[in-house]
Structure 1
Amino acid sequence: MSEGASGDAAGVNAGAGGVATAGGEDSAGRAVRRGSVSDHINVQAGQLLRRFILDRAESETETVGPAPTLEELGGSPAEQEDKGVIEVANCLRLIGDELDRDQKLQEMIRNMPIESPRELFMRVAIQIFADGTFNWGRVVALFYFAYRLVMKAYSRQLLDIVKTIISWAVDFIREHVIQWIREQGGWHLLADERAIQNLAKAQSTTTISLSSSKQTARLEGPDCCLPCSKG
């Protein structure tokens, strides 16, 4: 398949999930032009990350404190009404639940410094994909790490940093991961049970080394190989 044909197919698939089928804004509020598959996927990344953060924060208020609002994360109310976002977010949640059960990871995150968040985020993000392997589990590992950094900043009322962390995550996806997502057919694949059942059953394992804290943790999450609920 030619690059143009591949792009056309990805464009159809990227819109099929209903997450974003027209122009919009990325995580920093920048307008994206209509018709670009990669731009649509990038808009979706911001929407899904915000939904992922809200879902996890609202379910963990006893341990992480009050949940931020969608507006505080830089989102808009329309995102919560998009069924495509909800369906894909349900699948992201399954992988996030696995990370919640990783006690070594949780201990590392609790002890993470927040003084240099960009340096910390970039070091971890690069490490997640350091071996050149891409799968949905690792993408969600990136989301999960961004979520925990966001909640650490939010608990200290560092609202500007909250939005900035989300922007870092979306920018990283655009620069390093978006081509792989495009090749899969877009984010909506995670809400397609037939595609999910055909995915190789694999465990995503990433070792994250944080030299500043002298700790190592493992991010483990299934490559979304289980059928996802539609509710």
Structure 2
Amino acid sequence: MACEETPDDQIGEALLIGVIEDQVKSVNAAGDTSSLGIPKPKPLSHAQNQMLLNQLADTIRVIGDRLDMDTGFNDMIDGLGRVANKNSFWKLVEGVFSDGQINWGRIIVLFYSVGKLAAKMVLAHLPEVFSEILNLSLDYFRRTLLQWIRNMGGWINSISGVTRFSIEQFSASSFRRISPSAGQWVVFGAGVLLGGIIVWRLKRFT
């Protein structure tokens, strides 16, 4: 009997929405995001898909912790935050995919960066811009990234690509295009260990 196809659209939307919600909660003392109109992701029907989503969310947190220590990344987010309109999202996309190439690591960086940028709009009390960034990012995922993800075999095949991804290599070619004052770059060195944990846990459900 053939395995049911992983719902890559649901996983991607839930992952992106989760990142945005986490970042907004981190800057909102009350932790209440109900007034922002953040959509609720569709529930995943299989435990393995939920496990994959949870592990991808953990991966973003690990990469995000390293990005947060990077001067260039923070300068980039601060600069985009000052744009304070939907153009900030497109500038972010242009920077992340500056050479037109998509890979797993860049998708993860984009998701985390969107979350940080959205949180900036909440801090600036710009709910309309927040909504624009939220909707644009979901639309960009559906129209551009989802087909690439499916062509690569789905999110289940993202783990090896993410573990090989170097923030140092990416930063030098991308963050600097957005923020000329970029500082020292961070290497994502915990990927191999994290990827091994993810693969081991997923095998328990196969």
Identity of aligned residues (%): 24
Deviations 1:162-202 (A, max 9, x none): 23212211222233322221123222345xxxx53x87723
- The residue type equivalent to 1:110 in the other structure is D
After the TM superposition, which residues 183-194 of structure 1 pair with which residues of structure 2 at under 5 Å, given as runs? 183-190=151-158
Unaligned runs of 5+ in 2: 202-206
Counterpart code for 1:202: F
Q: Is the 8 A contact 1:42 1:178 kept in 2?
A: yes
Structure scoring higher RCO (CA < 8 A, sep ≥ 6) equals 2
The 5 Å alignment of 1:48-197 reads: 48-58=15-25, 61=26, 64-66=27-29, 67-69=31-33, 72=36, 74-76=38-40, 82-190=50-158, 196=160
Match of 2:204 in 1: none
Bigger shift: 153-162 or 219-228?
Answer: 219-228
Count how many residue pairs are aligned between Structure 1 and Structure 2: 185
Q: Does the 8 Å CA contact 2:165/2:188 hold for their aligned counterparts?
A: yes
* Closer, same or farther: CA 217–144 of 1 in aligned 2, 3 Å: farther
Number of the residue aligned with 1:202 = 165
The structure-2 alpha-carbon separation of the partners of 1:74 and 1:57, relative to structure 1 and needing over 3 Å to count, comes to: closer
More strand by share: 1
The one-letter code of the counterpart of 1:149 is L
In the aligned structure 2, how far is the partner of 1:115 from the partner of 1:129?
Answer: 19
SS in 2 for 1:117: coil
1:160: how far off?
Answer: 3.1
Q: Which has the higher helix share?
A: 2
The TM-score with structure 1 as length reference comes to 0.63
Task: Tell me if the contact between 1:14 and 1:185 (Cα under 8 Å) persists in the aligned partners.
Answer: no
Deviations 1:210-231, CA, capped at 9 Å, x for gaps = 3xxx635488674954425679
Distance 1:46 1:55 in 2: 14
CA separation of 1:131 and 1:12: change in aligned 2, threshold 3 A: farther
Q: Which runs of 5+ in 1 are unaligned?
A: 1-8, 16-40
- Report the Cα offset of residue 87 of structure 1: 2.9
Decide which of 176, 197, 215 is 2:180's aligned counterpart: 215
Whole-angstrom CA distance in 2 between matches of 1:187 and 1:78: 16
CA RMSD of superposed structures (Å):
3.6
* In structure 2, distance between residues paired with 1:53 and 1:124: 15
Change (3 A) 1:145 1:84: same
Alignment check: 8 A CA contact 1:42 1:174 kept = yes
Q: Which moved more, 1:90-99 or 1:218-227?
A: 218-227
1:106 is displaced (CA, Å) by 1.1
